Amino acid sequence: MRKFRRLVCLIIGFFVVATPLSIMGGEVGETKISMLLWNRYTFKNEGNEVTGSEFALKRGYFRIEPTLTDRIDGRFNLDFFSDETSTTGGGVRVKYAYLNFAGVLPIPKSKISAGIIQHYFGFGYDWEYITIEQVLEEVEGVAKSADYGVSFCGNLPGDKGVYSVAMYNGEGYTRTGSDLDLNPEILGNLRLSPVTGLTLGASALYLTDASKFAVIGLGRFYKGPFEFRGEYLVQDKDDIKSSGFMLMPILKLKELMNVDVDIVGRFDMWDVNNDADDDGHTRIIAGLNWNVFRNANDKPQIILQIQGQKMIYESETPDVNLLMVQLQWGFSNTFIQ
C-alpha cells in the first residue's frame, strides 16, 4: 500500500512540477496528459460449468507525452489494472517509456526511438482492440506489443508505406533483470499502402542464438462500410514449429444507417506444434462496438463493447465460452508553452 501511495504522489508531483517547466523552458513545446480505462465484465463457462463471473479494471493507461523540440518527443505510460495477486487488489506496470529523435540521419521522415518502445511485429504494435481479445501474435505468446530496445523507423517515398528495424531484449515489456536471457532480438517490419484502402505487410523477428524465428504476413482492406483484416503467422522456437492465422471482418453501420456501431467478427486457428496431433485450437469471436461518444476530432472517446468468444480445442479439453462487456473511455488535456 505504501508503494502505491508513493506512486500516486509521484504522479501528482509531475503535474505540479512538469507544467511550470514546460512554460519556462525555451525549447519545450506542448505536453499531453491522457488516461484510457477499460472497465470489463467477464462471464466464463467451461464445458457445462460456470468458472468465472467478474467485474474488473483490465486496463488503466496513464500517459504523459511531451514534445521537447520540433525533433524530439516522448511518451511515458503507466498501466493500472485489477490484480488478484496484490494485497491491494490492483497492480501497476510501465508499458512505454521512450524518446523519439527525428532527423538524426539524413533520411526524410525517419526517427530513432529508445527505451520501452513499440514492438513492430504484425498488427500488435498499433492494435486498436476492435476485438477485446489481443491480436493473434500476442494472445498466442509469440510477440508482445512493447519491449525494451532501440528502433529506426521511417516512411517510404510518397508515404506509400512504413518500415522499421529494431533490436530488443526479446522478452517483452513485463520482464527485466534475471528474467532475461543473453540473446537480443533483431526485428524487421515493412508495410505497403499502394492504393487507398489497401495495406499489405510483413514482419520477421530472430533471436541471436537462433532459438526463435517468427514471420508474419498481414493485410487490411477497407471500402465504404466494409473492412477486412488478416494475418498468417509462423514460428520456429526451440525446434518446435507453430503456425496459424487470423481473419477479421468488420461492418461499420454508421456509413449505412447513421448508427455509430461496428459489427465485428473474428476467426483464429493456431497449431502449437505442426508435428504433433491434437494440440491446436480455434477461436471464434463475434460482437459489436458502440461508439457512444466522439470528441471534436471525431475520435471515439467512449466505446461500449459486447462480444462473445468461443475456444474449441482439438484435444479433449472442454470448450471455453466467454461473454465480455467492456466500457472503454478516456480523456486528455494538453499543456502548451
Distance of CA 92 to the CA centre of its chain: 17
Contact 13, 19 (CB under 8 A): no
Contact 187, 168 (CB under 8 A): yes
Instruction: State pTM to two decimals.
Output: 0.87
Contact 271, 293 (CB under 8 A): no
What nine digits make up the cell of 34? Answer: 491522457
d(CA 328, CA 36): 7
The pLDDT of residue 179 is 79
Contact 62, 54 (CB under 8 A): no
The pLDDT of residue 28 is 60
**Residue type at 153 in one-letter notation:** C
Give the pLDDT of the chain (337 residues) as one tens digit per residue: 454 455 444 444 444 334 333 323 334 679 999 999 999 999 999 988 999 999 999 999 999 999 999 999 999 999 999 988 877 889 999 999 999 999 899 899 999 999 999 999 999 999 999 999 999 999 999 999 999 999 999 999 999 999 999 999 999 998 888 778 889 999 999 999 999 999 999 999 999 898 999 999 999 999 999 999 999 999 999 999 999 999 999 999 999 998 999 999 999 999 999 999 999 999 999 999 999 999 988 999 999 999 999 999 999 999 999 999 999 999 999 887 6
Question: Long-range contacts of range 47-56, CB-CB < 8 Å, 24 or more positions apart?
Answer: 47/318, 47/319, 56/81, 56/82
If you compute the radius of gyration of the chain from its CA atoms, what whole number of angstroms results? Answer: 21
- According to CATH, the topology of domain 2-335 is Porin (2.40.160)
Q: How many CA atoms lie within 13 A of 245 on its CB side?
A: 9
Contact residues for 337 (Cβ-Cβ < 8 A; gap 6+) = 22, 23, 25, 28, 29, 30
Contact 170, 186 (CB under 8 A): no
What nine digits make up the cell of 74? Answer: 516522448
What nine digits make up the cell of 75? Answer: 511518451
Torsion angle of C-alpha atoms 116, 122, 125, 126, degrees rounded to 10? 170
Write the CA distances from 306 to 47, 96, 116, 322, integer angstroms: 22, 28, 32, 11
72 pairs with which residues across the strands? 101
Write the CA distances from 86 to 4, 128, 184, integer angstroms: 11, 28, 31
